[in-house]
Amino acid sequence: MDYFSIATILIVLSAFFGYLNIKFIKLPDAIGLMLITILFTLAILGLSLFDDTLLLKEKEFISQINFETVLLDIMLSFLLFAGALHTNFQQLKVQRKPILIFATLGTFISTFLTGIIVYYLLKVLSFNVDFIYCLLFGSLISPTDPIAVLGIMKKVGAPKQLETKIVGESLFNDGVGVVIFLTIYQIAKGGQDISIINVSKLFLVEVGGGIGLGLAIGWLTYRLLKSIDDYAIEVILTLAAVMGGTLIAQHFHLSAPLAMVTAGLLVGNDTIRQSSMSELTEQYVDKFWELIDILLNTILFVMIGMEMLVLTFKVEYVLAGFLTIPILLLARYISLLLPIKIYAKKLNFVRKTNLIMTWGGLRGGISIALALSLTQAMERDLFLVITYVIVVFSIIVQGLTVGPLIKKITDKDEI
């Protein structure tokens, strides 16, 4: 099947499922689309007991989509730029120190805590899995997914300072998490000279280079936008910044996600907006990227729902997935303790920020994409099912309940 046909089917399904959600179910887009797609897939599985034609067609269709490449190399840059473009830059600047610690130290702590506890859990469940593979799993599941988080946070009405912490952390920790994953992946594969110097170089190139590239692209885009007044060309310039920047980042092995987050924050900064865009241009740029955000999010969560067809479901795998959920939540809660304790009084944190950020730290497509990149020797089938169970629970259960949790806590503060 050619790329146009694949894209057409995905968009038609996304539009249809999105319509069903808005018309009848009325859930946040990420939750509703994933739920409808899973139910649709389960219905096909049920129908296959009588006629497996449709099931075979859907499996063939899914097998032709490289989820890892589509998400990490193509969609992610657009989604992160769109998210960063509409993030409150001033709030992010105020909260930059705890966000930086959340995204770096917090991700490290969560990776190792999750890996260690999961290693012993799998031993109890009679899985003989090497510790390094459990650590690899910890690295792919620890970063919160900015795509899922952004989609949910827009709907729950969280206080701005709290929303900024959760969204800001998720925008940056995926880049850090990918670097940690790649480092442990090289160790797990063997044959690589892994040292503190080499790891530091990898971080400097991936993270520092990505941020530096993002600043350069953001500044260049700003200068170009400021020099003309034509909303159509200015919208195209922002699109060119994302596509060109992603291509450069991939060529030089820099972090494209961090580059696009940085560029989006710079271009979306209120001061830069006012000096580089007319009111008409600003409206068109915002609406264009809002539409891109909605379209790609819709396709992404439909793809996540359909990915269940390529999983090797076993009862013990699913059980391991459910038992890992509280482990991951505990690891995240502990990983957030230090920065919250340090900055709670200085920045006037919302009460029970740790609890809200733990429950509101959703996992999504990035974790599934990284799990799909594992080899069979790294227990790919096991960790892919565990990851899928966590992602579905995270988006549907945590996504549906984080709003009421925030409302309950903030309502008590007002009494």
pLDDT at 283 over 80: yes
Confidence tier at 193 by pLDDT (50, 70, 90): low
What is d(CA 338, CA 195) in angstroms, rounded to the nearest whole number?
Answer: 27
Cα dihedral 226, 292, 300, 107 sign: positive
pLDDT at 194 over 70: no
pLDDT at 43 over 60: yes
Q: Which of 14-28, 156-170, 244-258 has the lowest mean pLDDT?
A: 156-170
Over the stretch 309-326, which tens digit does the pLDDT of each residue have? 889 889 999 999 999 999
- The reply to whether the predicted model has a pTM over 0.75 is yes
Q: Are 40 and 307 in contact (CB under 8 A)?
A: no
Give the pLDDT score at 268.
Answer: 93
At 383, is the secondary structure helix, strand, or coil?
A: helix
| Percent helix / strand / coil, the chain, rounded to 5 | 85, 0, 15
Give the pLDDT score at 346.
Answer: 78
Classify domain 67-414 at the CATH class level.
mainly alpha
- Nearest CA-CA partner of 145 in 186, 119, 168, 174: 174
Interhelix angle 315-343/353-360, nearest 10 degrees:
150
140 or 93, which is more confident?
A: 140
Give the pLDDT score at 414.
Answer: 56
Q: Are 395 and 153 in contact (CB under 8 A)?
A: no
**Residue 222 CB-half CA count within 13 A:** 21
Give the pLDDT score at 252.
Answer: 93
Over the stretch 234-252, which tens digit does the pLDDT of each residue have? 999 999 999 999 999 999 9
Domain ranges of the chain: 3-63, 67-414
pLDDT at 403 over 90: no
Over the stretch 201-213, which tens digit does the pLDDT of each residue have? 777 888 889 999 9
